[in-house]
A and B are shown apart, each in its own frame.
Chain A
Amino acid sequence: GQSLEQPSEVTAVEGAIVQINCTYQTSGFYGLSWYQQHDGGAPTFLSYNALDGLEETGRFSSFLSRSDSYGYLLLQELQMKDSASYFCAVREVNGSSNTGKLIFGQGTTLQVKP
């Protein structure tokens, strides 16, 4: 089976930097991705790491260490609009099926305060 662990809640102030960690256990690893979901909205793709290292996209960066089964999402220069839930996800490839499943962590609720 597979599982992902991430903190349930994180609070930070505007302008700060916050890191949301994710550890995973999977059978067959094809990368770690991050999704953002605002209240009442749909999840939107943020980033994807297939290889070790840091991927930067504007204020958001994502890191992966495959040897540690660990990744994190780094949000810089926090803004109020960053208040949302953040999910890490891995794709499981099932040998008996020709389509992988995207398995989500339980989500981290980020609250940005003024």
Chain B
Amino acid sequence: DTEVTQTPKHLVMGMTNKKSLKCEQHMGHRAMYWYKQKAKKPPELMFVYSYEKLSINESVPSRFSPECPNSSLLNLHLHALQPEDSALYLCASSQRGGRSSGNTIYFGEGSWLTVV
């Protein structure tokens, strides 16, 4: 069982809706990530939070807005999405970020998003 918990597991939203994806980890990890994954493709990095500060934004459109309320929580706010944004959104965490980080990141089960 993953120790990174994501909700909801499935989400269907219209292009004018506002919704949020939530992620929680209690492993004491200080780096958290959002990835997007399309079918038969590798995960694509969207955002990285390191010690609760946004450290990487991979030129993600502003209709995706991340938020890190504390070291255990990570949200992804969604607004005015397009059908091509339909994908699996994966939250992940790692013990540390930056140069001291390893290659072990722990993924949540993901949120399947469908934009209609």
Contacts and interface: CB of A to CB of B under 8 A. Distances in A.
Interface string B38-67: 001111010011110001100000000000
Nearest to A28: B99
B90 A33 contact: no
Interface string A40-73: 0111110010100000000000000000000000
Interface residues of A, number: 30
B42 A100 contact: no
Interface in B87-116: 90, 97-99, 101-110
27 contacts: A31-B102, A31-B103, A33-B104, A41-B109, A42-B2, A42-B90, A42-B107, A42-B108, A42-B109, A42-B110, A48-B103, A48-B104, A87-B42, A90-B103, A91-B101, A91-B102, A93-B98, A94-B56, A97-B48, A97-B98, A98-B55, A98-B98, A100-B97, A100-B101, A101-B48, A102-B33, A106-B42
Interface of B: 2, 31, 33, 40-43, 45, 48-51, 55-56, 90, 97-99, 101-110
Given A42-B108, A104-B42, A104-B43, A99 B98 contact: yes
Q: Top 10 A-B pairs ranked by shortest CB distance?
A: A99-B97, A104-B42, A33-B103, A99-B50, A98-B98, A99-B55, A42-B107, A99-B48, A48-B103, A42-B109
Contacts of A102: 33, 45, 103, 105
A108 B22 CA distance: 30
Interface of A: 30-33, 41-45, 48, 50, 85, 87, 89-91, 93-94, 97-107, 109
